Amino acid sequence: MTNSKTNLDARLERKPSVELSVRDLKVSYRTRNGYFHALDGIDFDLQPGSVLGLVGESGCGKSTVVKALMRLLPEGTKVTGEVKLDGDDLLAMGQSELRDVRWNKISLVTQSAMNSLDPVVCIGDQIVESILAHEKVSKDIAWERAESLFELVGLLPKRLHEFPHQFSGGMRQRAVIAMALSLNAGLLLADEPTTALDPIMQDQIMASIRKIQEMLKRSMILVTHDIGLVAENCDTVAVMYAGKIVEAGPVQEVLVSPEHPYTIGLHNAFPRMLEEGQERPPLISIAGSLPNLLDPPKGCRFQNRCPLASEICSAEEPTLIQKSNGRRVACHHVDKTEQFRTIANKSETWAIGAGDLT
Amino acid sequence: MRAYIIRRLIQSILVIFAVTTIMFFMFRIVPADPTAMMVERGMSEEARQALLERWGLTGSLWDQYLRYIGGLVVGDFGDSFFYRQPVWDVLVPRIVNSLWIALPGLLLGALIGSGLGMIVGWSRRGGVIERSGVLGATIIRGTPSFILGIALLAIFSSWLGWLPGFGMGDSHGKEGWARFLQVEFFIHLILPVLAVIIYFLPENLLLMRSGVVENKHEDYIELVRAKGVSEKRVAWHAGRNSLLPLITWLFPALAETIAGIVVIEIVFSWPGIGRELVLAVTRQDFPLAQAAFFLMAVMIVLANLAADLAYGKLDPRVVYK
Amino acid sequence: MQNLTKTTSSRQRYSWLTGPFQAVLRDRFALVGLIIIAIYVLIAIFAEFIATHPPFEAALTETGRLNRLQPPTADHWFGTTTFGHDVFSQFILGFRVALLVGFLGAFAVGIISTLFGVVAGYFGGIVDDVLMRITDIALSIPTLPFAIVAVGLLGPSINNTIIVIVVLFWRNGARIIRSAVLTERERVYVRWARAAGASHTHVILKHIVPNVFRVVFLWVTMSVAFAILTEASLSFIGLGDPSTTSWGQILNTAFASGNLRTAWWWVVPPSLALVVLISALYLVGRAFEEYNNPRLRGDK
pLDDT digits (tens, 9 = 90+) for A338-357: 777 777 766 667 765 444 44
List the single residue in C with minimal CA-CA distance to B217. Answer: C298
Interface list for C 128-167 with B (CB within 8 A): 136-137, 139-146, 148-150, 152-154
Which residues on adjacent β-strands are paired with residue C226? none
Under DSSP, the state recorded for A242 is T
- So what's the pLDDT on residue A1? 44
Q: Are C125 and C211 in contact (CB under 8 A)?
A: no
Q: Please indicate whether residue C117 or residue B33 has the higher confidence score (pLDDT).
A: C117
Comparing CA positions, the residue from C252, C285, C286 lying closest to residue C271 is: C252
Name the residue among A34, A6, A75 with its Cα closest to residue A293: A34
Average pLDDT over residues B182-194: 81
Long-range residue pairs from A166-169, CB within 8 A, at least 24 positions apart, any chain: A167/A123, A169/A113, A169/A114, A169/A196, A169/A197, A169/A201
Whole-angstrom distance, CA of residue B314 vs CA of residue A39: 42
What is the overall mean pLDDT for chain B? 81
pLDDT digits (tens, 9 = 90+) for C204-227: 888 788 878 888 888 888 889 989
**Whether complex ipTM tops 0.90:** no
Residues in contact with C101: Cβ distance below 8 Å, sequence separation at least 6, in sequence order: C158, C161, C162, C165, C227, C228, C231, C246
DSSP string for A72-111? -PPTT-EEEEEEEETTEEGGG--HHHHHHHBTTTEEEE-S
- The C-alpha atoms of residue B283 and residue C269 are separated, in whole angstroms, by 31
Q: In the structure, what pLDDT confidence band is assigned to residue B51 with cuts at 50, 70 and 90?
A: low
Q: What is the pLDDT of residue B31?
A: 57
Q: Return the sign of the alpha-carbon dihedral for residues A158, A162, A164, A170.
A: negative
The candidate with the shortest Cα–Cα distance to A69, out of A79, A59, A78, is: A79
Edge-to-edge strands, sheet with A20-31 = A34-46, A20-31, A78-85, A88-89
- Asked if residues A317 and A298 have their Cβ atoms less than 8 Å apart, the reply is yes
Distance CA C20, CA C17 (A): 6
| Interfacial B residues in 275-314 facing A (CB < 8 Å) | 314
Please give the angle made by the CA atoms of B232, B236 and B239, to the nearest 5 degrees. 135
Of residues A284 and B137, more confidently modeled:
B137
Could you count the other beta carbons within 10 Å of the beta carbon of residue B131? Answer: 15
For residue A128, pLDDT over 90 is answered with yes
* Maximum Cα interatomic distance, chain B, rounded to a whole number of Å: 86
pLDDT for C300: 37
Element (H or E) spanning A147, and its range?
helix A139-152
User: Which sign does the torsion angle of CA B230, B234, B237, B243 carry?
Assistant: negative
The Cα–Cα gap between B79 and B104 comes to 31
Q: Give contacts of B135 with chain C, Cβ < 8 Å.
A: 29, 283
Lowest-confidence segment of B7-16, B250-259, C210-219 by average pLDDT: B250-259
Higher-pLDDT residue of A280 and C22 is: C22
Residues of B in contact with C262 (CB under 8 A): 158
pLDDT tens for each residue of C8-30 = 444 566 777 777 777 777 788 88
User: How far does the CA of residue B11 sit from the closest CA of chain C (Å)?
Assistant: 10
Per-residue model confidence (pLDDT) at position A3: 47
Position with higher pLDDT, A309 vs B176: A309
| Number of Cβ atoms within 10 Å of the Cβ of A267 | 21
Q: Is B227 on the interface with A (CB under 8 A)?
A: yes
Give the pLDDT confidence score for residue C279 in this predicted structure. 92
pLDDT given for residue A5 in this prediction = 63
Yes or no, beta carbons of C275 and B259 under 8 Å apart: no
The chain B residue lying nearest C222, using CA atoms, is: B142
**Of B30, B153, B301, Cβ closest to residue C140:** B301
Residue of C251, C285, C252, C255 whose CA lies nearest to C102? C285
pTM above 0.90, yes or no: no
Within 8 A by CB and 6+ apart from C233, the residues are: B144, B145, B146, B259, B263, C144, C147, C248
Tell me the C-alpha distance between A3 and C49, whole Å.
90
Query: For chain C, which domains are there?
Result: 17-51+101-296 (1.10.3720.10)
pLDDT digits 0-9 by tens, A131-184: 999 988 889 989 999 998 998 888 999 999 998 888 888 888 889 999 998 988
If pLDDT is split at 50, 70 and 90, which confidence band does B40 have?
low
Chains with ≥3 Cβ pairs under 8 A against B? A, C
Confidence of residue B54 (pLDDT cuts 50, 70, 90): low
Helical packing angle, C158-185 and C143-154, nearest 10°: 140
Domains parsed from chain A with CATH numbers: 5-15+47-68+94-234 (3.40.50.300), 249-272+283-351 (no CATH)
Average pLDDT on A241-265 reads: 86
What length is written for chain A?
A: 358
pLDDT at A51: 92
pLDDT digits (tens, 9 = 90+) for A174-191: 899 999 989 888 899 998
**C229 vs B contacts (CB less than 8 Å):** 144
Q: Which residues pair with A278 in a beta bridge?
A: none
Residue B262 and residue C148 in contact, taking contact as beta carbons nearer than 8 Å: yes
Distances (CA, A) of B17 to B25, B66, B68, B301, C141: 13, 12, 12, 11, 12
Q: What is the mean pLDDT of residues A278-301?
A: 74
Tens of each residue's pLDDT in chain C, 300 residues: 344 444 444 456 677 777 777 777 778 888 888 899 999 888 888 877 777 777 776 666 667 677 666 777 767 667 777 776 777 778 888 888 888 889 999 999 999 989 888 888 888 778 788 877 887 787 778 888 888 888 888 888 888 889 989 988 888 888 888 888 888 887 777 778 877 877 888 888 887 888 788 888 888 888 899 899 889 988 888 888 888 888 888 888 888 787 777 777 778 888 888 899 999 999 888 888 888 776 666 543
CA angle A135, A136, A137 (to 5 degrees): 95
Distance CA A52, CA A235 (A): 6
Burial grade of B302 (CB within 10 A; 0-12, 13-18, 19 or more): middle
B95-139, pLDDT tens digit by residue?
888 888 888 888 899 899 999 999 998 888 778 888 899 899 989
* CB contact (8 A) between residue B241 and residue A119: yes
The CA distance from B178 to the nearest CA of chain C, in Å, is: 31
DSSP 3-state of A315: helix
Interchain contact, B228 vs A116, CB within 8 Å = no
Average pLDDT score, chain A: 83
Pairing label, strands A51-55, A219-224: parallel
| Choice among A68-72, A312-316, C52-56 with the minimum mean pLDDT | C52-56
Do residues B149 and B198 touch, judged by C-beta distance below 8 A? no
In angstroms, the separation between the Cα of residue A126 and the nearest Cα of chain B is 8
- Per-residue model confidence (pLDDT) at position B72: 81
Sign of torsion, CA C152 C154 C156 C160? negative
pLDDT at A272: 56
Q: How far apart are CA A314 and CA A304, in angstroms?
A: 9
Alpha carbons within 13 A on the beta-carbon side of A212: 29
User: Among partner residues C137, C238, C271, which is closest to B15 by beta-carbon distance?
Assistant: C137
Say if B241 is an interface residue toward chain A (CB within 8 Å): yes
Residue that wins the pLDDT comparison between B217 and B139: B139
Asked if C291 reaches chain B (Cβ–Cβ under 8 Å), the answer is no
Please tell me the distance from the alpha carbon of residue B80 to that of residue B59, in angstroms, as a whole number.
Answer: 20
Mean pLDDT of the region B54-60: 67
Cβ proximity of B264 and B146 under 8 Å = yes
Angle ∠(C218,C220,C225) on CA atoms, nearest 5: 100
pLDDT above 90: residue B57: no
**What's the first-to-final CA gap in chain A, in angstroms?**
68
Residues in chain B: 321
Beta bridge partners of A238: A54, A248
Interface test with A, best of B227, B237, B241, B243 (most A CBs within 10 A): B227
The CATH label, of 1.10.3720.10, 3.30.930.10, 1.20.1510.10, 3.40.309.10, for the domain at B91-314 is 1.10.3720.10
| C-alpha neighbours within 13 Å on the C-beta side of residue A108 | 28
Q: How confident is the model at residue A228 (pLDDT cuts 50, 70, 90)?
A: confident
Interface check for C267 against chain B (CB to CB < 8 A): the answer is yes
From first CA to last CA, the distance across chain C in angstroms is 31
CA distance C180 to C117: 9
> What are the domain boundaries of chain B?
2-73, 91-314
Burial call A89-105: b when 16+ CB within 10 Å, e when fewer? ebbebeeeebbebbbbb
Instruction: Spell out a b/e string for B250-288, using b for 16 or more CB atoms within 10 Å of the CB, else e.
Output: bbbbbbbbbbbbbbbbbbbebbbbbbbbbbbbebbbbbb
Comparing CB atoms, the residue among B15, B151, B214 nearest residue C140 is: B15
Predicted pLDDT at C2? 40
**Other residues' Cβ atoms within 10 Å of the Cβ of residue C2:** 6
Question: Which residues in B lie closer than 8 A to residue A119 (C-beta atoms)?
Answer: 220, 241, 316-317
| pLDDT at position B319 | 65
**Three-class SS of B249-260:** HHHHHHHHHHHH
Average pLDDT of A291-310?
A: 82
Distances (CA, A) of C223 to B201, C44, C233: 21, 19, 15
Q: What is the mean pLDDT of residues B156-178?
A: 72
The per-residue DSSP string of chain C comes to -HHHHHHHHHHHTTHHHHHHHHHHHHSHHHHHHHHHHHHHHHHHHTHHHH--S-TTPPPB-TTSSB--SPPP-SSSTT-B-TT--BHHHHHHHHHHHHHHHHHHHHHHHHHHHHHHHHHHHHH-HHHHHHHHHHHHHHTTS-HHHHHHHHHHHH-S-HHHHHHHHHHHHHHHHHHHHHHHHHHHHTSHHHHHHHHTT--HHHHIIIIIHHHHHHHHHHHHHHHHHHHHHHHHHHHHHT-S-TTS--HHHHHHHHHHTT-TTT-HHHHHHHHHHHHHHHHHHHHHHHHHHHHH-HHHH---
User: Are the beta carbons of A118 and B240 separated by less than 8 Å?
Assistant: yes
For C5, other C-beta atoms within 10 Å of its C-beta total: 10
pLDDT in tens, A80-110: 999 998 888 989 888 888 888 899 889 998 8
Radius of gyration of chain B from its Cα atoms, rounded to whole angstroms: 24
pLDDT band at A68 (very low <50, low <70, confident <90, very high): very high
Please, which chains are in contact with A (at least 3 CB pairs closer than 8 A)?
B
